[in-house]
């Protein structure tokens, strides 16, 4: 007998004395309610994936391919976010990302598993898949975060290929920006886009990943929220997970993703928790009308939530065989 059947049969046996096994067998809705309550309310045969932005659709497909074959959530989120990292049409994540104001493409990423282990790289150059380097940091070192030249050195020592990441399109955009701007990093609701992803596998375990090229034309050396555990992404296997997108500085100041997860721990739904985090930013950030921040979250029941400051934030959600893009609700109407 496999583990799933054992858990199900044990649950039925334990509940049989209270409501009667024969009654359960004759009432499918009650039986399904009991089955869905196993593992904290999440049905084991229903893996769930949520990711930020419309390009999360393709990322979700790659993640679900892992989960549908019985793979774990950690492998799924890594495989998922590697898709936009490799997309030459995506100018905010990975190898085709826009450079900083000095023309350097610098990338950030973090990953977290079901046991609370985490890995991160920040301000890394010349590596197309920072998420995989972040996982290597988690699994092969006693550290959580490695940055800059040290991150590149670590990547090369572990078999990653050094590449030139500044594409012709990104270089052209940077040169046009230099003509029109006084070397000042732009802050606006439209200068963002990170992919954050959370997944729950068939065992009911959750993992998360986040990766970005950061704010376009940022100051050289700037790092946002994406590689920071508890800011850009956070997962707790007893509760759920959250990820952020938008102006990283605002997210860092409130430890945004950690705040969302802790709100769910106190009983808030994922939607309520995301709204609370956005409202916290609004309370603290005087220029909130000029920026965008959005959060996504899922709890261990597979329930989702998403909320942003201004209109335009989208997220992709994969559950029960359906993979769709949704418009997030938002604060500024």
Annotated catalytic residues are: 194
d(C-alpha 143, C-alpha 91), whole Å:
30
d(C-alpha 327, C-alpha 54), whole Å:
9
Q: Residue 127: count other Cβ atoms within 10 Å of its Cβ.
A: 26
Q: Residue 40: count other Cβ atoms within 10 Å of its Cβ.
A: 15
Report whether 254 contacts 280 (CB < 8 A). yes
- The residue with tokens 């990975």 is 94
Strand pairing report for 304-308 and 329-330: parallel
Phi-psi region of 246 (alpha: psi -120 to 50; beta: other; left: phi over 0): left
d(C-alpha 65, C-alpha 4), whole Å:
21
Q: Which is nearest to 98 in space by CA: 106, 109, 87?
A: 106
Q: Where would I find the H helices in 20-120?
A: 21-26, 28-37, 56-68, 73-86
Strand pairing report for 118-124 and 314-319: unpaired
d(C-alpha 152, C-alpha 140), whole Å:
15
Query: Per-residue DSSP letters for 283-333?
Result: HH-TTGGG--EEEEEEETTS-EEEEESSTT-EEEEEETTEEEEEEPEES--
DSSP 229: B
Q: Which is nearest to 314 in space by CA: 305, 324, 326, 297?
A: 326
């Amino acid at each position: 007998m496999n583990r799933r059947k054992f858990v199900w049969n044990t649950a039925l046996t334990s509940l049989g004395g209270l409501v009667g096994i024969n009654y359960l067998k004759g009432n499918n809705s009650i039986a399904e309610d009991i089955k869905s309550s196993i593992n904290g309310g999440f049905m084991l045969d229903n893996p769930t994936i949520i990711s930020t932005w419309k390009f999360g659709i393709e990322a979700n497909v790659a993640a679900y391919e892992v989960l549908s074959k019985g793979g774990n959530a950690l492998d799924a989120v890594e495989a998922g976010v590697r898709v936009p990292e490799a997309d030459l049409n995506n100018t905010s994540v990975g190898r085709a990302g826009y450079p900083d104001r000095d023309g350097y493409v610098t990338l950030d990423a973090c990953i977290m598993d079901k046991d609370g282990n985490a890995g991160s790289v920040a301000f890394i150059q010349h590596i197309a898949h920072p998420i995989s380097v972040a996982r290597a940091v988690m699994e092969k070192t006693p550290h959580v975060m490695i940055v800059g030249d040290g991150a590149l050195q670590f990547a090369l020592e572990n078999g990653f290929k050094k590449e030139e990441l500044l594409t012709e399109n990104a270089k052209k955009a940077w040169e046009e920006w230099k003509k029109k701007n006084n070397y000042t990093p732009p802050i606006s609701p439209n200068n963002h886009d990170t992919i954050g992803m959370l997944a729950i596998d068939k065992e009911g375990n959750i993992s998360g990943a986040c990766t970005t090229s950061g704010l376009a034309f940022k100051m050289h050396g700037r790092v946002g929220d994406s590689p920071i555990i508890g800011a850009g992404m956070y997962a707790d296997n007893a509760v759920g997970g959250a990820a952020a997108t938008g102006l990283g500085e605002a997210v860092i100041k409130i430890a945004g993703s950690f705040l969302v997860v802790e709100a769910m721990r106190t009983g808030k739904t994922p939607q309520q928790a995301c709204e609370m985090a956005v409202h916290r930013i609004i309370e603290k950030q005087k220029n909130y009308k000029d920026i965008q921040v959005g959060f996504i979250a899922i709890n261990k029941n597979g329930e989702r939530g998403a909320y942003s400051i201004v209109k335009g934030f989208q997220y992709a959600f994969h559950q029960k065989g359906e993979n769709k893009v949704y418009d997030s609700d938002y604060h500024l109407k």
